[in-house]
A and B are shown apart, each in its own frame.
Chain A
Amino acid sequence: MNFLPMIIVFPLIMAIIMNLLHGKEKAVKYLTFATAIVLIALPFIGEYGYYYFSGHGVVDGWISGIAYLYNPAKQAVIITLSLIASLVLITGMGEKLKNNMFVTLSLMGFASISAIVLADDIFNLYVFFEIISIVQAGLVFLSGTEEAYKAGLRYMIIGSVAAALMLLGITFLLASTGTLNISDMKHHLLTDNPMVYGGLLLLIVGLAYGSGLPPFHNIKADLYARSKGFISAMLQTYSKFVLVGLMLIILKLFNGLSYFSSAHAVLIALGVLAMVFGVVMALLQSDYKKLLAYHAISQGGYVATGLALGTPLGIVAGIFHAINHVIYKSALFLGAYIVSCKRGSNLHKLGGLLPLMPYVAFMVLCAKLAISGVPPFNGFQSKWMLAEAAMQVNMPEIAIIMIIVSIGTFVSMMKAFYLIYLKPVDEETLKEYQGKEVPKLAVFSLFVLTALCIIIGLDPSLITNYLWDYAREIGVNYCLK
C-alpha cells in the first residue's frame, strides 16, 4: 500500500477539522502542535514512482484520474516545505487572535503546494494552482489592516486574469494533444503548431503569476509586505515552490525541442529581470518587511534563471537555491516579526536593538550573510552553482549580473542591519523596547533555521545528492556559441 496521497489528503482533512473547532483555543493549540509534528514525517511515507489516484491508470488510451510522480528531487522539496510549515505553525501558536483560521489556511496551502510539486497531470495542477491563490489572499486578509485588504484584492483581480489565461493555455494543449497527463502529453508535442505555441505562451503567464516574476513582482511583494512576519515566511515558501513545480513541468514537456528556443530565452530573460528589478526595488524601500519582500522576488529570479537554463547543473542549482532561499528568507521574515513585536517595521523609526537581543541579532546576521552569498553559509553554495551553470552554457554575462545583484543584496541587507540594530537611539525608546516581550517560539524557529543554514553551507551534498537523478532525466546539455 502506497501512502503517497496522504501528503495532500492529511493536511486537507486537518484543515477541515481545524475549521470546525472554532472558538476552542486550547484544543486548536494542541492539535496544531500535533499536526506540526506529523507534517515532518509526511514526506517519508510515500514510495517513489507514479501513483494513479484510486487505480485509474491508462484506460484504452484514455488517461483519466489524478496522477502523481514522486522521486528524490520532489522529496527534497517537500521535506523543506514541511519543515518550514511546521516551524511557522509552531511560531503561530504564540499568537492568540484568529489562530484556527491561520492554521486552516496554512494547511490548505501546504496541501496545494505539495500537489503542485507532485502533480503529473495538468488538471490537478490547475485546480491546486487556483486554490493556492485564494489561500494566499486569505492569509493576507488575516492581518486585518486596510492595506492588507487592498493588496489581497489587487492580487486576486490580476490573478484571475492570469489564471484564466493559464486555463486557456491548458485548453490549447489539450486540444492539440488530446490528453492532460504530462508524461503522455510529452509524446504528442514533438511537432509544432500554433496551438502548442499558444499553450506554451499562456503557461508562461501562469508561471510568472504564480511565482512573482515580472510584471507580477509588485503585487506579490505587496502581498508579502502586508501580512504578519511569520505568515510572509509561509507565503514566500509557497511562491518559490510553485515556481519550482511549474518550471519543472514546463521543462519536462518542452525541454530539448527545437521550437522551445525562443520561449527558453523568454524564461531566462524573465528570471534576470526579476533578479534585477527585485533588488533595485529593495534598495529603495524604507520599510523592513517590504525590503525583505522585494528580496524574495529577487532570489526567485535566481531560481528561475537557474531552472530556465535547462542543463542538469542549472536545474540542480535552481532547486538547491530554492531550498536554501526558503530557509534563510524564512529566518529573515521571522526576525522581522520579532522586531515588529518591539516597534513596527519602519526602518527610520527603529534602532539600537543590538544590546537588547544579541542572540537574535547574531542569527539574523547569519541569515543576512547567507542571502548575500558569503562562504560558510548555504547561499554561497547555491549561488556558486548557479554562476557555474551560467558559465557552462557560455553565458558569462548572466553570471556577472548574478554577482552584481549579490552586491546589491549585500548593500541593502547591511543598510537594514545598521538601521535596526546598530543605529544609536535615545533613552525613551530603549525603555519602550524593554516593556515588550520577545516571542519565544519565533526565536526557537529562527534558531533551527539558522542552524540549517550553516549545516547545508558546510555540506551541500546533503541536498544535492537528492536532486541529480531527476535533473539528468529532464535536463539537456547545450552550449551557446
Chain B
Amino acid sequence: MDYNKFQKDLEKEGHGDGITVGAFFTGEFTLYLLFIFGALIIGRVYGKTLMTLFGLSALAFSLSTFPIIFQFKKENSNAINYQLFWLSVFLGAIAFCVYLTARW
C-alpha cells in the first residue's frame, strides 16, 4: 500500500493531484470492505465456516494484487463486448441462485 507508487500510476493518466488520488484510495478500500462484510454475512446466513474462510482467502488474494481498482475500472468499461460478457455471467449466476432452492 504505497501512496507514492499509486500516485505514479495515476500520473500516467494525467490526474495526479491529491484529491483524485484520495478518491481512488477511498474506492479501493470500499471494495475491500465490501468483500469483508459480504463474506461475513454470507458465512453467517449459510452457517458454514468454510465459506467464510474461502471468502477471506479471496480477500487476501485481492489484497496481494493491490491495486485492484484499475482492473475494476477496466472491467466496468462501456465497450459492448465487456457488457455482453457480464450480462451472460449475470444470467448464469442468478439462474444458479434462484434454482438452488428448487425441490423437485
Q: Is A69 an interface residue when CB atoms closer than 8 A count as contact?
A: no
Choose from A204, A218, A266, A401 the contact partner of B83 (Cβ within 8 Å).
Answer: A218
Contact (Cβ within 8 A) A408 B26: yes
| A157 partner residues in chain B, CB cutoff 8 A | 80
For A480, the closest partner residue in chain B by CB is B45
**A400, CB-defined interface residue at 8 Å:** yes
Residues of A within 8 A of B20 (CB): 286, 415
Q: Mark B38-71, 1 if CB is under 8 A from A, else 0.
A: 1011001100000000000000000000000100
- The distance in angstroms between the C-alpha atoms of A214 and B44, with both chains bound, is 24
Q: Which of A204, A261, A397 touches B37 (beta carbons < 8 Å)?
A: A397
Are B102 and A192 within 8 A (Cβ)?
yes
Q: Are A262 and B97 in contact (CB under 8 A)?
A: yes
- Docked CA distance A286–B19 (Å): 11
Residue from B15, B40, B72, B77 in contact with A286 in the complex, judged by beta carbons closer than 8 Å: B15
Minimum CB–CB distance from A266 to chain B (whole Å) comes to 5
Cβ contact of B34, chosen from A197, A218, A401, cutoff 8 A: A401
Please state if B83 and A284 are interface contacts (CB–CB under 8 Å). no
Q: Is there contact, CB below 8 Å, between B27 and A219?
A: no
Tell me whether A398 is interfacial, beta carbon within 8 Å.
yes
Q: Does B3 contact A (CB under 8 A)?
A: no
Residues of A close to B37: CB separation below 8 A: 397-398, 400-401
Q: Looking across the interface, which residue of chain A has its beta carbon closest to that of B98?
A: A201
Q: Is the CB–CB distance between B19 and A261 below 8 Å? A: no
Docked-complex contact A280 and B30, CB < 8 angstroms:
yes
Closest chain B CB from A120 CB (angstroms): 25
User: Quick one: which of A197, A408, A415, A418 contacts B98, CB cutoff 8 A?
Assistant: A197
Assess whether A266 is in contact with B101, with CB atoms less than 8 Å apart. Answer: no
Q: Mark B64-103, 1 if CB is under 8 A from A, else 0.
A: 0000010011001110101110110111001101111111
- What is the interface residue range for chain B against chain A? 35 or more
- In the bound complex, do residue B34 and residue A262 qualify as a contact, i.e. CB atoms below 8 Å apart? no
Interface of B is mostly: helix
Q: In the complex, how many angstroms separate the beta carbon of B22 from the nearest chain A beta carbon?
A: 7
A161 in contact (CB, < 8 A): yes
Flag if B45 contacts A265 (CB, 8 Å): yes
A215 touches B89 (CB 8 A): yes
Query: Cβ of A259 < 8 Å from any Cβ of B?
Result: yes
B32 nearest CB across to chain A (Å): 10
Decide if B98 touches A215 in the complex (CB within 8 Å): no
Q: A197-B102, A280-B69, A480-B45 are in contact. Are A266 and B23 (CB under 8 A)?
A: no
Bits for A230-263, please: 1 = Cβ < 8 Å to B, else 0.
0000000000000000000000000000010111
Q: Contact check, A262 vs B98: say whether CB atoms are below 8 A apart.
A: yes
Given contacts A277-B76, A280-B72, is CB(A205)–CB(B94) below 8 Å?
yes
B94 touches A284 (CB 8 A): no
Closest to A291 in B: B23
| Distance in Å: Cβ of A271 to nearest Cβ of chain B | 12
User: Which one of B41, B78, B98 lies within 8 Å of A218 (CB-CB)?
Assistant: B78
Interface flags for A177-216 (1: CB within 8 Å of B; 0: not) read 0000000000000001110010011001100100000111
Q: Which residues of A contact B23 (CB under 8 A)?
A: 283-284, 411-412, 415
Query: Is A84 positioned at the interface, with any CB of B under 8 Å from its CB?
Result: no
Chain A's closest residue to B36 (CB) is A397
Q: Tell whether B6 is near chain A: CB-to-CB under 8 Å.
A: no
Task: Assess whether A407 is interfacial by the CB under 8 Å rule.
Answer: yes
Can you list 27 A-B contacts with CB-CB less than 8 angstroms, sorted by A residue number?
A: A154-B78, A158-B87, A197-B98, A201-B99, A214-B86, A215-B83, A215-B87, A218-B78, A219-B83, A259-B101, A262-B97, A265-B97, A266-B94, A266-B97, A272-B38, A276-B31, A279-B30, A280-B27, A283-B24, A284-B24, A284-B69, A286-B20, A397-B37, A407-B26, A412-B26, A419-B19, A480-B45
The 6 closest A-B pairs by CB, nearest first: A283-B27, A215-B86, A397-B41, A280-B27, A397-B37, A262-B101
